[in-house]
């Protein structure tokens, strides 16, 4: 497994299931950045949990994702962050400096011994949002995707459940 893998895709593209498949059957950490604030989201979270096996330890961390990564670091303990987009939204909601937080994340990823898979929404395929907050989110997530892709060993785009490698080596 590559040290850092970024899995990009649109909504309902199959990116999370694909990212989980990269981990395998050993002990793994799932860092959830989405808080289930309504019934529909709670249902999505339940489906994600049901899909994963008993080998996963779930850590719910909506803002302090870097701390969660550090706390669960280990060479034989892969970690999966799902998703970078929700983390960015949470940072914006908490009025954090997103650019600084993404830089800290990238630096941390380079120092971890854990292999890490990161799921993120690809923002560049949709329409330009009609409000300032949504445009700020798209800009921040697009910049974050570029920063993480730059340090990632492997980047995969998932469309209609089909992974297409855009950076790296499938043998990593």
> The domain spanning residue 102 has which CATH number?
3.40.50.300
122-132 pLDDT, tens digit per residue, is 987 778 888 99
Question: How many domains would you assign to the chain?
Answer: 1
Compute the C-alpha angle 19/112/69, nearest 5°: 65
Tell whether 71 is covered by a domain.
Answer: yes
pLDDT of 124 reads: 74
- The span from the CA of 10 to the CA of 133, in Å, is 20
Tell whether 14 is covered by a domain.
Answer: yes
Its domain, for residue 104, covers 4-167
The token pair at 147 is: 């920063």
pLDDT of 172 reads: 43
pLDDT over threshold 50, residue 171: no
Q: List active site positions.
A: 48
Q: Find the mean pLDDT for residues 148-172.
A: 90
- This prediction has a pTM of 0.92
pLDDT of 170 reads: 60
pLDDT of 128 reads: 84
66-120 pLDDT, tens digit per residue, is 999 999 999 989 999 999 999 999 999 999 999 999 999 999 999 999 999 999 9
Tell whether 172 is covered by a domain.
Answer: no
19-59 pLDDT, tens digit per residue, is 999 998 889 999 999 887 788 877 877 777 777 778 899 99
* DSSP output for the chain: --SEEEEEE-TTSSHHHHHHHHH-SS-EEEEE-----SHHHHHHHHHHHHHS-TTEEEEE-SS-HHHHHHHT--TT--EEEE-HHHHHHHHHHTT--HHHHHHHHHHHHHH-SS-EEEEEE--TTSPPPSSHHHHHHHHHHHHHHHHHHHH-SEEEEEETTEEEEEES-TT-
pLDDT over threshold 90, residue 145: yes
Tell whether 117 is covered by a domain.
Answer: yes
């Amino acid at each position: 497994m590559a040290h850092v893998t970024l899995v990009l895709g649109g909504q309902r593209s199959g990116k999370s299931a694909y990212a989980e498949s990269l981990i395998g059957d050993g002990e793994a950490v799932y860092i959830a950045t989405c808080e289930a604030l309504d019934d529909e989201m709670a249902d999505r979270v339940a489906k994600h949990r049901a899909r994963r096996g008993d080998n996963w330890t779930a850590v719910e961390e909506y803002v302090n994702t870097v701390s969660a990564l550090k706390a669960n670091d280990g060479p034989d303990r892969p970690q999966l962050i799902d998703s970078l987009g929700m983390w960015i939204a949470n940072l914006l909601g908490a009025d954090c400096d997103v650019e600084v937080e993404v830089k800290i994340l990238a630096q941390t990823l380079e120092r971890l011994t854990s292999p890490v898979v990161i799921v993120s929404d690809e923002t560049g395929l949709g329409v330009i949002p009609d409000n300032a907050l949504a445009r700020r989110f798209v800009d921040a997530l697009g910049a974050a995707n570029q920063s993480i892709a730059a340090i990632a060993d492997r980047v995969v785009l998932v469309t209609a459940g089909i992974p297409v490698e855009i950076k790296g080596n499938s043998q990593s």
